[in-house]
C-alpha cells in the first residue's frame, strides 16, 4: 500500500532486532521481550501502525493467556519529507557540498 521510490528500501520496514528471555536453557522463562524497529514512510501514522500490530497480536495473547505490553525504546520522530527544491535543502547542499538524498 505504501511505497516511496526515493528511498533505497521503498516500503516501510519492521525489524525484529532483539529477543531476550529466560536465564537457563532447561527452564521455561516467565517473560520474554522483543525489541523491534518500525520505520514508516512519510505520510504514515506511527500510532496507527502500532495499533495494527496490537490488533494482530491480541488474539495470540488471548489464545496463549499471556500479557503483551508496549513501551517505546526511544522518543518518536514522525516520518517527514521535504521537497528537493526547498530553500533549506538548497542551503544544506551548498554548505556541505553534497546533493540531498532520502534517508
Q: Are 94 and 88 in contact (CB under 8 A)?
A: no
Q: What's this model's pTM, rounded to 2 decimal places? A: 0.70
Q: How far is CA 95 from CA 9, 34, 50, 62, 87, in A?
A: 27, 41, 38, 55, 12
CA distance 80 to 68: 29
Domain boundaries defined on the chain? 13-75
Per-residue pLDDT tens listing for the chain (103 residues): 789 988 889 999 999 999 999 999 899 888 999 999 999 999 899 889 889 999 999 999 999 999 999 888 888 888 888 998 999 999 999 999 999 988 7
| Residue 48, CA atoms < 13 Å, CB-side half-sphere | 7
Placement of cell 521503498 in the chain = 10
Amino acid at each position: 500500500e505504501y511505497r516511496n521510490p526515493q528511498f533505497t528500501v521503498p516500503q516501510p520496514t519492521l525489524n525484529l532486532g532483539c529477543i531476550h528471555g529466560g536465564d537457563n536453557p532447561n527452564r521455561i522463562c516467565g517473560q520474554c521481550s522483543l525489541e523491534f524497529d518500525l520505520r514508516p514512510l512519510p505520510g504514515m501514522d506511527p500510532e496507527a501502525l502500532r495499533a495494527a500490530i496490537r490488533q494482530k497480536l491480541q488474539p495470540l495473547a488471548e489464545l496463549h493467556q499471556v500479557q503483551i505490553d508496549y513501551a517505546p525504546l526511544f522518543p518518536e520522530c514522525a516520518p517527514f519529507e521535504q521537497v528537493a527544491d526547498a530553500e533549506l535543502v538548497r542551503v544544506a547542499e551548498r554548505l556541505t557540498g553534497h546533493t540531498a538524498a532520502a534517508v
